[in-house]
Structure 1
Amino acid sequence: MASPEISKVSWGTMKVEGKVYKDCKVWPGGSRTWNWRETGTDHYPGVQPTDIEEVVKKGVKTLVIGRGMSEALQVPAKTLEYIRAQGVDPLVFQTEKAVKEYNLLVSQGVKVGGVFHSTC
């Protein structure tokens, strides 16, 4: 099962397989809204292991994290350690760069997942 391509990214909007999100999670075969309220996430301290656990459990080999257009969303060391402990390679970028990298990996057939913040 392939990871879906992200067809559009702009401030406050991401489009995946015809679905429009503000923040989203993607994995081989699917995508959904990334609702920060589910885990109490905020820009600081940032992405928590519980935010990415769902995507990691989908069997991805690489996880791309988009920190926002201005990179306001933090990614603490404990989150990167969790990802690596699951045998997954984390990649962290400004969101537009993260989407480009994610889509490149999709085009190469990599089992890639991601979590993306589309504003700040």
Structure 2
Amino acid sequence: MNSPEIASLSWGHMKVKGCSSPYKDCKVWPGGSRAWDWRETGTDHRPGVQPADLEEILKKGVETLVIGRGMSEALQVPPATLDYVKGKGVDVRVLQTEQAVKEYNILAGQGAKVGGVFHSTC
């Protein structure tokens, strides 16, 4: 299974290839995607992305995880979250969301087992 391409990104709107509904924030992995609802884990800009936000994707067998921190990089990624991902043997890349989407799409296009979480606003 390949990781789906992110077809478009604009403020508050993301479209994943093969998915009929747009997302505000999303999670993607080999073979799928879904909305990233921060309320599920109590995530907020600070302290930021929690290990619980990433568990679902890490269970999909990804080798690389890309995290998009938002258009203005307001979403934090605590060191403990990075340590959690690295402890699972997964390479993690944290970038501004437009750059994160570019990086993710390059890796997905190369057939890498890549997953990601992307925040499309601040």
Q: TM-score range by the shorter chain?
A: over 0.9
Q: 2:69 and 2:21 mapped to 1: Cα distance?
A: 21
Identity %: 73
Aligned to 1:101: 103
TM-score using structure 1 length = 0.99
Unpaired runs of 5+ in structure 1? none
Aligned to 1:83: 85
Give the RMSD, CA atoms, in angstroms: 0.5
Aligned to 1:9: 9
1:19, CA displacement in angstroms?
2.8
Aligned match of 2:55 in 53, 56, 65? 53
Q: 1:109 and 1:82 mapped to 2: Cα distance?
A: 24
Unpaired runs of 5+ in structure 2? none
TM-score using structure 2 length = 0.97
Aligned match of 1:72 in 61, 71, 74? 74
1:70, CA displacement in angstroms?
0.2
4+ aligned runs moved over 4 Å, structure 1: none
Aligned to 1:33: 35
